[in-house]
């Protein structure tokens, strides 16, 4: 089932450049992509939409504490310039193995057009009350030359279920744990960069 995503501008407190708040996994080596997950309040989002405004939406790093299902999930990334790779794909896999599509989605085939350099908010916000459940959510990001199809993302998720990182910081970047033929958009693994982040979702007490 696809997650509902809408465009939004997020703001967050960034650490100094020499103290990044989020980092890519990658066998102990520097990676060209890092991603982070952000939590926000749905009530604030609805209020802004009701008055017809679209000011920045305050978000906090999802690593600080679990995200409530009543809120929204956003993303940030930092990408190093790589020749030919200009598209960011974002998807999640929950504890039951269900795939959540953030960019692209079944109704929007475009990935995120990447800006390189500093940490940037991805123009994607997801209502966690739609399709998401309490528990662990693993978010995957891919920097590649082209946007994958939904079928390709499903194939990646299935392959990753057979080759998980196990939570190890020294695990290989996830696109290297998937067979090159299955990756498709990365005919040569050196053309792509990948990162993953673990998010915990919680159901608020009634």
Number of domains comprising the chain: 1
Does the predicted TM-score (pTM) go above 0.85? no
**What is the residue range of 134's domain?**
5-202
Is the CB of residue 40 less than 8 Å from the CB of residue 57? yes
CA-based nearest residue to 23, from 196, 199, 170: 196
CA 159 from centre of chain: 18
130-144 tens-digit pLDDT: 899 999 999 999 999
191-203 tens-digit pLDDT: 899 999 999 999 8
Q: What is the mean pLDDT of residues 83-110?
A: 94
Q: Which residues contact 167 (CB under 8 A, 6 or more apart)?
A: 198
Share of the chain above pLDDT 90, in %: 54
Phi, psi at 42, each rounded to 5°: -65, -35
Counting every residue, how long is the chain? 206
d(CA 184, CA 199): 27
């Amino acid at each position: 089932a696809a997650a509902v995503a809408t465009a939004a501008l997020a703001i967050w407190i960034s650490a100094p450049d020499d103290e990044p708040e989020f980092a890519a996994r990658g066998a102990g080596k520097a990676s060209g992509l890092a991603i982070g997950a952000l939590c926000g309040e749905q009530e604030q989002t609805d209020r802004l939409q009701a008055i017809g405004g679209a000011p920045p939406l305050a978000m906090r790093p999802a690593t600080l504490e679990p995200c409530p299902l009543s809120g929204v999930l956003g993303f940030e990334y930092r990408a190093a310039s790589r020749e030919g790779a200009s598209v960011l794909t974002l998807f999640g896999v929950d504890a039951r193995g269900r795939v959540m599509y953030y960019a692209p989605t079944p109704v929007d085939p475009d990935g995120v057009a990447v800006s390189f350099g500093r940490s940037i908010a991805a123009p994607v916000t997801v209502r966690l009350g739609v399709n998401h459940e309490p528990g662990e959510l693993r978010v995957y990001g891919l920097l590649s030359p082209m946007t994958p199809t939904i079928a390709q993302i499903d194939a990646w998720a299935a392959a990753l279920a057979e080759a998980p990182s196990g939570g190890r910081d020294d695990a290989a970047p996830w696109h290297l744990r998937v067979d090159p033929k299955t990756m498709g958009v990365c005919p040569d693994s050196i053309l792509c960069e990948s990162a993953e982040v673990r998010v915990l979702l919680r159901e608020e007490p009634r």
